[in-house]
Amino acid sequence: MLLLIQYTLIFTSVLMLVALGGCFSEHSGVINIGLEGIMVFGALGGALVMRYLPAGTSSFVMVVASIIAAMGVGILYSLLLAVAAINFKADQTLVGTAMNLLGTAAATVIVKAINTAADASNPSSEIMYIEAKKSFIIAEGTEFSWFMILALILLIASYVILYKTKFGLRLMACGEHPQAADSVGINVYRMRYAGVMISGLLGGLGGLVYITAGVSAWKFENGVAGFGFLALAVMIFGGWKPQRIALAALLFGLFRSLSNVYTGFNFLKNLNLPSTVYNMLPYIISLVVLAFLSKSSAAPKAEGIPYDKGSR
């Protein structure tokens, strides 16, 4: 049971962070389908820091440096979407899809190039950071990490920013009626850039949390196993509201964790279902949720619509 709780909290943290990132982007009016690719690049930034920081680096420095790197790389990668969607008014869905394809491929090439330079006989897609990963653990022998606390803090911060600050209210105005927002002096382009960059920050952090959850180094050619798309489902299920996103992430995280720990529960083992069924559960639930909520979802009205300052 403890293992189930640990994995549920880990996966909940990942899904919640990435879904909150998508929430900020869509509230600004930009659909961010590229969360998967952002997660991969954020994970890459954090993993490289964990690999190259010298041995003996304090846990505090290791944690802070890795988090900053993951967030920074996530922001930089999200700018591809921002420039294409905001400046060039490109189709946001196509740009996001391209970012997902590019993210895993580019990260794999970069990691293999690094490993080849270090050892030509080992061009793997892994970055060794397992010893450094111990810095994130709160209590030895468990999977409870500081990321869980950070995810909770960022959840509260997201709610406050969106609903209690001038910035958040302006951001949401740009996703609902950008022309009206512009008419009262709000810079719609700047707010949309801010929304996309926040999604990059949270998505990159979510990628780092994801790869540090396992007991071995992550192979970047595997990407993040569809967690970016699951996060989009969590965001929609949560109605683009931080508090509901947290509950949706907890539900999806529970089902995702079952694939890791189902052998420890006799009533699940007695069902004699193959492990692939448990791996499929969160994705099946995603399809069911989206099928029922797609028509009634209260998405920001102007999401996905390029803003033209000259139109009214």
Averaged pLDDT, 82-101? 96
> What per-residue confidence (pLDDT) applies to 3?
78
> What per-residue confidence (pLDDT) applies to 43?
96
Averaged pLDDT, 169-187? 96
Q: How confident is the model at residue 166 (pLDDT cuts 50, 70, 90)?
A: very high
> What per-residue confidence (pLDDT) applies to 255?
86
The 3-class SS string of the chain reads: CHHHHHHHHHHHHHHHHHHHHHHHHHHHCCCCCCHHHHHHHHHHHHHHHHHHCCCCCCHHHHHHHHHHHHHHHHHHHHHHHHHHHHHCCCCHHHHHHHHHHHHHHHHHHHHHHHHHHHCCCCCCCECCCHHHHHHHECCCCCCCEHHHHHHHHHHHHHHHHHHHCHHHHHHHHHHHCHHHHHHCCCCHHHHHHHHHHHHHHHHHHHHHHHHCCCCCCCEHHHCCCCHHHHHHHHHHHCCCCHHHHHHHHHHHHHHHHHHHHHHHCHHHHCCCCCHHHHHHHHHHHHHHHHHHHCCCCCCCCCCCCCCCCCCC
Whether 264 has a pLDDT exceeding 70, the answer reads no
Of residues 218 and 270, more confidence is placed in 218
Tens digit of pLDDT for each residue in 36-68?
999 999 999 999 999 999 888 899 999 999 999
Domains in the chain, ordered, with CATH?
2-293 (1.10.3470)
Whether 290 has a pLDDT exceeding 80, the answer reads no
> What per-residue confidence (pLDDT) applies to 213?
82
Tens digit of pLDDT for each residue in 102-155?
999 999 999 999 988 877 777 787 888 888 888 898 877 677 889 999 999 999
> What per-residue confidence (pLDDT) applies to 215?
62
Highest-confidence segment of 210-224, 233-247, 263-277: 233-247
> What per-residue confidence (pLDDT) applies to 270?
66
Mean pLDDT value across the chain: 89
Averaged pLDDT, 75-90? 97
